[in-house]
């Protein structure tokens, strides 16, 4: 049932994409036919190419703006669990590397484990802007 819905969704998306392509080609031909008496065939082709470049630039700007959601100002987490979750969420590779390094150091010398926990719990202030 779900697979069938997904297939219909993809079919609808592809139909809309094809319709948009046909519309763009028809509009390009209409613009060419409109400009041909004024600037000739080569000039009309240049106008169509310029209009296409403007359309692509506007689409690129719109997609770029849609791809980056606005940054949310978050308050500093109150609890240590929230700080750890926030750190892992923002820097997962660094968190895994730090966990592995801390584990290796704790095996070799347990004193380092206490230092690492204290450093993480105390943290440091956010940089000023």
- Report how far residue 118's alpha carbon sits from residue 102's, in angstroms, rounded to the nearest whole number: 12
Residue 48 has pLDDT above 80, yes or no: yes
Q: What is the pTM of this model?
A: 0.45
Long-range CB contacts (within 8 A, 24+) of 120-128? 120/83, 120/84, 121/80, 123/83, 126/76
Helix H segments across 68-109?
80-90, 92-108
Q: Are 85 and 92 in contact (CB under 8 A)?
A: no
> What pLDDT does residue 37 have?
93
> What pLDDT does residue 88 have?
75
Output 58 or 116, whichever has higher pLDDT: 58
Residue 76 has pLDDT above 60, yes or no: no
């Amino acid at each position: 049932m779900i697979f069938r819905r997904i297939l219909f969704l993809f079919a609808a998306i592809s139909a809309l994409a094809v319709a948009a392509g046909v519309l763009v080609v028809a509009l390009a031909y209409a613009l060419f036919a409109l400009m041909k008496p004024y600037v000739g065939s080569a000039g009309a082709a240049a106008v169509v190419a310029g209009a296409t470049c403007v359309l692509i630039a506007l689409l690129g700007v719109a997609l770029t703006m849609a791809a980056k959601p606005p940054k949310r100002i978050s308050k500093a987490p109150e609890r240590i669990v929230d700080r750890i979750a926030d750190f892992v969420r923002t820097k997962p590779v660094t968190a895994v590397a730090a966990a592995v390094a801390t584990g290796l150091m704790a095996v070799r010398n347990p004193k380092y484990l206490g230092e690492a926990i204290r450093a993480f719990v105390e943290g440091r202030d956010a940089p000023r802007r």
